[in-house]
Structure 1
Amino acid sequence: MTHSERFQSSMSRANHFGQSSTAETSELVETDIFPNDASYLMKISVGTPPVERWALAETGSDLIWFQCSPCPQCYPQNTPFFVPKSSTTYMSLPWGSDPCNSLPKFSVQGQLYPKCGTSNECTYFYSYVDKSYTMGELGAESVSFGQAASFPRTVFGCGHNNNGLYNKNNAGLVGLGQGSLSLVSQMGNVGRKFSNCLPPYSAKTTTKLRFGEEAAISGNGVVSTLLFTKHGFLSSSYVPNLEGITVGQHTVQIDESNGNIVVDSRTTLTILPSRVYKKVKALVKQAIGADQFIVHNDIFKLCYRNANSIQNFPKFELHFTGANLSLKPQNFFRPISNNVICFAMLPTNGTPFYGNMAQIDFEVEHDLDQKKVSFAPVDCTKK
């Protein structure tokens, strides 16, 4: 997809919002994570015998799903679709089961999902705010991470009708949100905590996604902020409170409180309230001082040519409650083409998002039980 399609997906997400498994080991549980088209894929194995796949890591939702055979309406992927009949541990979950009842309700062409299938299976539909969706059969299956950890009876969606801005590297999606159907909630005694370190999009390296107590980050540079409980579409999301943004020597205050921005691994850009964005953009423009370059028919409104000649990138700091984060230019400026870079934050009248671009080269820990998210600046290519 083009950079505009990917960033429009970020905007769609912002504008829309206004049964456990038990690990067979207590050893370190971790897997690889890899940059892929301004998003991040994680390595996960499914079934018995296990088949290894890369799937989108998504902190803003719960459901785990893979493209499954038969797949009459699926996007192309470069690995075979998962075949439930080839796994000795696959189990279809019935209509009325607890996991089926835990799914959010969606109305599609007059039909309410989840619904009872022709063989009493739980037929689901799960939609995302960028208009992508998955539809199929809810099942339970063994998922694993290498030889170290296996999680039997993990609830997941076997998608037979899937659509969205996914590329061929992506075999599905792993929900890492706070709800009962997310992977981190289904990992039993491992503990409801995970951390990741996102390398730059251009990096040709994997980093680690860690689960449980081994996921805790520490050191002098760690800062933490509390999460707020939300309802509706935001109930699974990680929502701290952003109090202000400093650009150079000036700070823009944010009046809203009690949780006002979603920390999200799938959304590319950081999306700010329109009033805040307007002031922040003006401060960035003033600090840089160079001639602005107009990019027609693009979503970015503050761009510059000859990026290498810009010397005056301002200090850029986010002030979460109890946690100040200093961003580098790579976190808030995005190269688009022909040596053109653009201020890569956008306005919204919907829900603000703290996107994955602003999280590059930060170790980020999500603690579901302590209701907090922590950050530490690092070189993620060396983690």
Structure 2
Amino acid sequence: MAAQSQIWPEASQFIIKIAVGTPPTEVHAILDTGSDLFWTQCLPCANCYRQTNPIYDPSKSSTFQTLSCELPQCHLTGSGAACSGTDTCKYNYGYGSGLTQGELATEQMAVTSRSGAMKLFQGVVFGCGHNNSGTFNPNEMGLIGLGRGAISFVSQIGPSIGGRKFSLCLMPTNTDPTISSSISIGSGSEVKGPGVITAQLVQISDPTYYSLTLTGISVGNTLIPYSTSGPPAQGNTVLDTGTPPTLLPKELYERLAAEVRRQIPSEPIGDTLCYKDNLGDLVMTLHFDGGVDLPLSTIQTFNQMPDGSFCFAAMGVDDDSALIGNSMMANFLVGYDIDNMTVSFKPTDCTKIG
């Protein structure tokens, strides 16, 4: 029953193709587990960033339908709805690096599997974005939110195809952009079998996030506790495919960076955690509540840069919480299960499954 589609790398993000409307417009959207709304740039544009492919034109689709503020779909969790009375349902959705504003509408959508089979979904709520800005590039036509909120793409289509669950496999940084991987949604997308590591998600106040409790990080056999001042807060870490680097509280990052620097045999480039070569056989392990350990190789913890050097895939931020970015999830088949509140990791060569 699962809906399947291919994933492509695009700069430091990952893209899925979705057909929107009747006749269909092909939309290339950033995969983002850290937000809920699916939106695309939409004519007429009050302020759209430059886009290479044609911008979706709702006036040419026979299945486009705007929502009014009275309808319950306008007020789904995670919609960013901003309206009153009986007006058209407007939305305002902000990100760390940009925003999108427009109207919420329903539309027919389709994803195409690797076999070429097309799966149609009617009446999917999405954002028709007339004012969009941020660090989007011309090949990114919008963003598909795969969070836990009611308006997310997986929450909307999941119940019709066997459940609110999906799995995806992200490729390492600098993978040839002609190589694709895949995403699977619904029944059949479960990640199971030998070598699977499963952690229980934590319910936090924000209904969007896939949150885990990170208790510490080991570098080799040396444990770096998450906090030096007591037990860590529950749900202190989110999984976010829409953010490339892993973000750690500054104090934790500094302790971790010092240990990484101590264990790598070669000298770093200046004051950075970048190396020309010889990272050794460094293994870093993420420790989650419940005794769940996720070992990471240098494929996940270091990004190969255009000049051939390798740079650490994490950085310190002024925040008490952590975020595991898409670089650190490379070469794992990751299964997200909203209904059972679990996330599962299976080491996989993601360049070989597209």
TM over 0.5: yes
Deviation at 1:323, TM superposition (A): 2.6
Residues 28-177 of structure 1: pairs in structure 2 closer than 5 A: 28-102=2-76, 114-116=82-84, 120-130=87-97, 132-146=98-112, 147-177=117-147
Partner of 1:16: none
Give the alignment partner of residue 202 of structure 1, picking from 171, 174, 177. 174
Matches of 1:325 and 1:105 in 2, distance apart? 33
Matches of 1:82 and 1:337 in 2, distance apart? 34
Partner of 1:250: 222
Matches of 1:311 and 1:290 in 2, distance apart? 7
Aligned residues: 339
Q: 1:28 to 1:339 in 2, by over 3 A?
A: closer
- Contact preservation (8 Å) 2:331, 2:348: yes
2:217 aligned with 1:228: no
Give the alignment partner of residue 320 of structure 1, picking from 280, 288, 299. 288
Matches of 1:103 and 1:318 in 2, distance apart? 31
Residue 315 of structure 1 aligns with an amino acid whose one-letter code is: V
- Contact preservation (8 Å) 2:69, 2:84: yes
Residue 241 of structure 2 aligns with an amino acid whose one-letter code is: S
Matches of 2:109 and 2:89 in 1, distance apart? 20
Q: 1:105 to 1:316 in 2, by over 3 A?
A: closer
Matches of 2:3 and 2:78 in 1, distance apart? 29
Deviation at 1:120, TM superposition (A): 2.2
Q: 1:316 to 1:66 in 2, by over 3 A?
A: same
Q: 1:337 to 1:66 in 2, by over 3 A?
A: closer
- Identity of paired residues, percent? 35
Matches of 1:105 and 1:84 in 2, distance apart? 19
Deviation at 1:225, TM superposition (A): 0.5
Partner of 1:298: none
Matches of 1:175 and 1:257 in 2, distance apart? 26
- Contact preservation (8 Å) 2:332, 2:347: yes
Cα deviation digits, residues 20-59 of structure 1 (max 9, x gap): xxxxxxx331111111111111111110122222101111
Partner of 1:336: 305
Deviation at 1:337, TM superposition (A): 5.0
- Contact preservation (8 Å) 2:28, 2:141: yes
Give the secondary-structure state (helix, strand or coil) at the position aligned to 1:277. helix
Give the secondary-structure state (helix, strand or coil) at the position aligned to 1:214. coil
Matches of 1:102 and 1:186 in 2, distance apart? 10
Q: 1:104 to 1:382 in 2, by over 3 A?
A: closer
Deviation at 1:149, TM superposition (A): 1.5
Residue 174 of structure 1 aligns with an amino acid whose one-letter code is: I
- Contact preservation (8 Å) 1:47, 1:89: yes
Matches of 1:320 and 1:128 in 2, distance apart? 27
Matches of 2:12 and 2:87 in 1, distance apart? 39
Residues 278-289 of structure 1: pairs in structure 2 closer than 5 A: 278-289=254-265
- Contact preservation (8 Å) 1:239, 1:260: yes
Partner of 1:260: 236
Matches of 2:248 and 2:233 in 1, distance apart? 14
Deviation at 1:267, TM superposition (A): 0.8
TM-score of the pair, normalised by structure 1? 0.84
Deviation at 1:199, TM superposition (A): 1.2
Partner of 1:374: 344
Residue 198 of structure 2 aligns with an amino acid whose one-letter code is: S
Partner of 1:6: none
Give the secondary-structure state (helix, strand or coil) at the position aligned to 2:327. helix
Residue 316 of structure 1 aligns with an amino acid whose one-letter code is: M
Residue 162 of structure 1 aligns with an amino acid whose one-letter code is: N
Residue 120 of structure 1 aligns with an amino acid whose one-letter code is: D
- Contact preservation (8 Å) 1:28, 1:148: no
Deviation at 1:221, TM superposition (A): 0.7
Deviation at 1:202, TM superposition (A): 2.4
Partner of 1:272: 248
Partner of 1:189: 160
Give the secondary-structure state (helix, strand or coil) at the position aligned to 2:56. coil
TM-score of the pair, normalised by structure 2? 0.91
Question: Where in structure 1 are there 5+ consecutive unaligned residues?
Answer: 1-26, 107-112, 296-300
Runs (4+) of structure 1 exceeding 4 A deviation are 103-106
Question: Where in structure 2 are there 5+ consecutive unaligned residues?
Answer: none
Partner of 1:178: 148
